[in-house]
Amino acid sequence: EPEVTQTPSHQVTQMGQEVILRCVPISNHLYFYWYRQILGQKVEFLVSFYNNEISEKSEIFDDQFSVERPDGSNFTLKIRSTKLEDSAMYFCASGSRGRGYTFGSGTRLTVV
């Protein structure tokens, strides 16, 4: 069964450093998403991406965040200057119209 692949599975970074989280969505999907889950809290929407541009973003997705689809297969989330409160599990998801979204297994980001 097709999967959404995320790397790395765990990233530790120092406060103020830039991190890039990587995702390979399912190949025939057109919609791409990033969500995050702070420990013990709800899964929260960050951003959706369609047709090579951001289609929607939440209040969490401020200027520190950016997304990119640098080639036909990867979808990345960059956090420019990480803060302690960015520590969370970050999930990538992809979907096609009218179907369920498939999530990756997540990247656990720890900011120290």
Chain positions contacting another protein, by CB under 8 A: 6, 31, 33, 35, 41-45, 48, 50, 55-56, 58, 91, 93, 95, 97-98, 100-106
The residue among 14 and 41 lying less far from another protein, judged by its C-beta, is 41
For 24, 25, 48, 54, 80, the CA distances from 29, given in Å and listed in that order, are: 11, 7, 13, 15, 27
Q: What does the alpha-carbon distance between residue 81 and residue 26 come to, in Å, rounded to a whole number?
A: 29
The residue among 14 and 98 lying less far from another protein, judged by its C-beta, is 98
The residue among 18 and 56 lying less far from another protein, judged by its C-beta, is 56
For 7, 22, 67, the CA distances from 28, given in Å and listed in that order, are: 20, 18, 19
Query: CB of 32: closest distance to another protein in angstroms?
Result: 11
Paired tokens of 111: 């900011």
